[in-house]
A and B are shown apart, each in its own frame.
Chain A
Amino acid sequence: MNIDIAFLSTWALPLVFLGPLIAAVITFVLGASAVSRFIGLLVPLGVFAVSIALVIATMDGQVVVSQIAGWPGGVAIAFVGDLFSALMLGVSSLLVFTSMVFSYAAGLGIDRWFVPAVLVMTGGVYGAYVTADLFNLFVMVEVALLPSYILMSRRGTLTALRAARLYLIVNLTASTLFLAGLGAVYGVTGTVNMAALAGLGVLPVVGVATGVVVIALSLKAALVPTHSWLPATYPYTSPAVTALFSGLLTKIGVYALVRIISLVYEPGQLVTVIVVLACVASMVIGVLGALGEGTIRGVLTFHMISQVGYILVGVVLAGAVGLAAVVFYLIHHTIVKTSLFLTGGTVEHEEGTGIIKRLGGLARAHPVASLAFLLAALSLTGIPPFSGFWAKLGVLNAAADAGSVLVFAAALIVSVGTLGSMLKLGSGVFWGTPKGMREEEDEETPSDVTVGPETVGATGVAIDVATAVEAPPVTRWRPLLVIPGLALALISLGIGLYPEWLLALSDTAGQSLSEPTAYVTAVLGGGS
């Protein structure tokens, strides 16, 4: 196919960042109207189209570069589209689109802050995927985080505000650490251009300075031992916002970790051992935590921690094979996790609670949601023929290649734990006796747990109806609540049935991540 590279580098790369920001201004001026909601759907579709063009342009390992303001390479801030960035752009815009549909169905669209905040947030995320400059990455992450603070606290309940406060403090800590690390990197190398840092990690000073940045990013990615903030914050906002956050914000941390570790460090350095240990700990601790949670989103949030371990372990295992597994797993995980959060959100909106004990036997009342959950849960566990099977196979393959018994065993055993907690969700929420037929064990009257969607805490108790900010009316347009989650689950099934194309793309992306010469020469070479 004929893709105009010059057009892509001149317009498309800066536009994936600037486009959503401009759209955010427009939607903010328009207020909560149908037009701005429409723009909120149009922008992710546009980014998706750009990402497809980028994938086609870069699938042979080529790298598209835009040197901002036409400065020579190495001096300019570069926006770079390689295959990894292009794939991340595609999967992120896809999940933003589906989550937007869900949010509108859940009634969040009438908040005039919602669409602009999401647009700014996604602009920052897309920008983080294409930037080749560490300081620019910091700015992009902040651009993505600021609206997320607003989204986190918009619910207005005391629980949501406290969660937002913790969330803000954690991210402020990570950002401060990131800045300190940036200063150190600049101090010892004289540059913050990622391409110029390639391979410099073998020098101890650069390795340590970059290590500070890596620690800051693992805090954002919720890798053990910096994970405990995640389950304390994500479940306490609106279900749609949790889905967006899980697919976008922790994923920037994961993306940046993959990019920086694979670029800066060489295989066999001490940092690789540390990352492997942190990843294995994440897998185990995440899944054990999930078993002990009592709410749908609590279980899913702990699973995120476990899955971050699965994703990142390949970065330091087996070179190109491991990195290919990382790319595939990251894409699979983003799709499936968003699907699960959206389906869980459907249950919360329909039933008014996310507490597993108060739910049960929903398979009859919500057959489509149950189907979506079943598909996505099987995929997350890694059962063929879903995308999760190929993702886990990739990780196991990389572990076997590297001869790492620890990772191989952990990946297998944790899968059993994943299955266990998914069974807990499945039997507690979708199968079994409907809650009406069960004997009422709780003292709370049913009226406590059946309130409009936005006034219900994640823990199911109606926290404070009077103080909830602009509680939207109950929307009962069920198809649009269920379809996004189901569509993503079906995409996962589709990838699992026809995995060749994505495996081939991941292989190419992994190849160019482990041998970043094309990336480095494109960024530094001054060509565009």
Chain B
Amino acid sequence: MTLAIAVGFLAAVGTWLVVRGGAVRLILGFILLGHAANLIIISAGGAFRREAPLVDGELLAENAADPLPQAFVLTAIVITFGVTVYLLSLVARTAKQSSKAEDESIGRIEGQAEEEGRSS
């Protein structure tokens, strides 16, 4: 139940941040959404089983945690982290470029702003 509430809260706040617009809010929103997805995977393994899944003589099958979702989450965290870092650098790069374009735009052809407006 705690996990379900946490997933719902993270997903709600994440979605809200993403649709609010603005580069920083967007990135924070995606980080929260990623956490929500990770918690869903963790909960898929059954959060009530918390013992280390080690075979010591005989396996404590009832309380041993499922290691597979943890491996999934570990992989997912690394991938999301990498993508987020790239997104950050891309946002920074775009901001730099557009301020530069604004500086140079005085007296330039109007068509450019129009064309660029179409793509965004």
CB-contact partner of A179 in B38, B68, B94, B112, under 8 A: B38
A177 to B40, CA, bound (A): 11
CB B47 to nearest CB in A, in angstroms, measures: 11
CB A321 to nearest CB in B, in angstroms, measures: 37
Does B75 contact A161, Cβ atoms closer than 8 Å? Answer: no
Does A159 contact B115, Cβ atoms closer than 8 Å? Answer: yes
CB B28 to nearest CB in A, in angstroms, measures: 13
**Chain B CB within 8 A of A464 CB:** yes
Does A183 contact B118, Cβ atoms closer than 8 Å? Answer: no
Asked, given contacts A182-B72, A184-B44, whether A161 binds B38 with beta carbons under 8 Å apart, the answer is: no
CB-contact partner of B68 in A159, A184, A186, under 8 A: A186
Does A169 contact B72, Cβ atoms closer than 8 Å? Answer: no
**Chain B CB within 8 A of A162 CB:** yes
Chain B, 1-35, contact with A by CB distance < 8 Å: what is the 0/1 string? 00000000000000000000000001000100110
Q: How many A residues, CB 8 Å from partner?
A: 42
Other A-B pairs, 8, CB within 8 Å; known A153-B93, A175-B80 = A166-B120, A168-B83, A169-B87, A176-B34, A179-B34, A179-B76, A182-B41, A183-B42
A444 to B109, CA, bound (A): 8
Chain B neighbourhood of A187, CB < 8 A: 40, 43-45
Does A161 contact B36, Cβ atoms closer than 8 Å? Answer: no
**Chain B CB within 8 A of A129 CB:** no
Listed residue (B34, B44, B82, B84) with the most chain A CB atoms within 10 angstroms of its CB: B44
Chain B neighbourhood of A459, CB < 8 A: 115, 118-119
**Chain B CB within 8 A of A435 CB:** no
Chain B, 61-83, contact with A by CB distance < 8 Å: what is the 0/1 string? 00000001100100110011011
Does B72 contact A158, Cβ atoms closer than 8 Å? Answer: no
CB-contact partner of A444 in B34, B75, B94, B111, under 8 A: B111
Binding site for B on A (CB under 8 A): 135, 138-139, 142, 145-146, 149-150, 153, 157-159, 161-166, 168-169, 172-173, 175-177, 179-180, 182-184, 186-187, 232, 236, 444, 448, 457, 459, 461, 463-464, 467
Chain B, 94-120, contact with A by CB distance < 8 Å: what is the 0/1 string? 100110110010000101100110111
Closest 6 CB pairs between A and B? A187-B44, A183-B41, A183-B40, A179-B37, A186-B44, A180-B37
CB-contact partner of B93 in A161, A169, A183, under 8 A: A161
Does B100 contact A448, Cβ atoms closer than 8 Å? Answer: no
CB A331 to nearest CB in B, in angstroms, measures: 30
Chain A neighbourhood of B68, CB < 8 A: 186
Chain B neighbourhood of A183, CB < 8 A: 37, 40-44, 69, 72
- Which DSSP category, helix, strand, loop or mixed, fits chain B's interface? helix
Does A186 contact B90, Cβ atoms closer than 8 Å? Answer: no
Asked, given contacts A158-B101, A183-B44, whether A163 binds B119 with beta carbons under 8 Å apart, the answer is: yes
**Chain A CB within 8 A of B52 CB:** no
A173 to B82, CA, bound (A): 15
Chain B neighbourhood of A146, CB < 8 A: 82-83, 86
**Chain A CB within 8 A of B91 CB:** yes
Which chain A residue lies CB-closest to B44? A187
Asked, given contacts A146-B83, A161-B90, A186-B69, whether A139 binds B75 with beta carbons under 8 Å apart, the answer is: yes
A164 to B76, CA, bound (A): 22
CB-contact partner of A162 in B37, B94, B100, under 8 A: B94
Does B72 contact A236, Cβ atoms closer than 8 Å? Answer: no
Which chain A residue lies CB-closest to B72? A135
Which chain B residue lies CB-closest to A464? B101
A211 to B42, CA, bound (A): 20
Chain A neighbourhood of B116, CB < 8 A: 158-159, 162, 463
Does A180 contact B83, Cβ atoms closer than 8 Å? Answer: no
Asked, given contacts A184-B44, A187-B43, whether A139 binds B79 with beta carbons under 8 Å apart, the answer is: yes
A149 to B45, CA, bound (A): 32
Does A168 contact B36, Cβ atoms closer than 8 Å? Answer: no
A-B contact pairs, 25 of them (CB 8 A): A135-B75, A138-B76, A139-B79, A142-B79, A150-B86, A153-B90, A159-B115, A159-B116, A161-B94, A162-B94, A165-B90, A169-B26, A169-B87, A172-B84, A175-B80, A180-B40, A182-B41, A183-B37, A183-B43, A183-B44, A184-B40, A186-B68, A187-B43, A232-B119, A461-B112
Listed residue (A139, A150, A157, A179) with the most chain B CB atoms within 10 angstroms of its CB: A179
Does A457 contact B43, Cβ atoms closer than 8 Å? Answer: no
Listed residue (B84, B100, B111) with the most chain A CB atoms within 10 angstroms of its CB: B111
CB B5 to nearest CB in A, in angstroms, measures: 16
Which chain A residue lies CB-closest to B79? A142
A307 to B111, CA, bound (A): 32
Chain B neighbourhood of A157, CB < 8 A: 97
Chain A neighbourhood of B38, CB < 8 A: 179
Which chain A residue lies CB-closest to B46? A187
Chain A neighbourhood of B93, CB < 8 A: 153, 161
Does B41 contact A179, Cβ atoms closer than 8 Å? Answer: yes
Chain A neighbourhood of B118, CB < 8 A: 459
Chain A neighbourhood of B119, CB < 8 A: 159, 162-163, 232, 236, 459
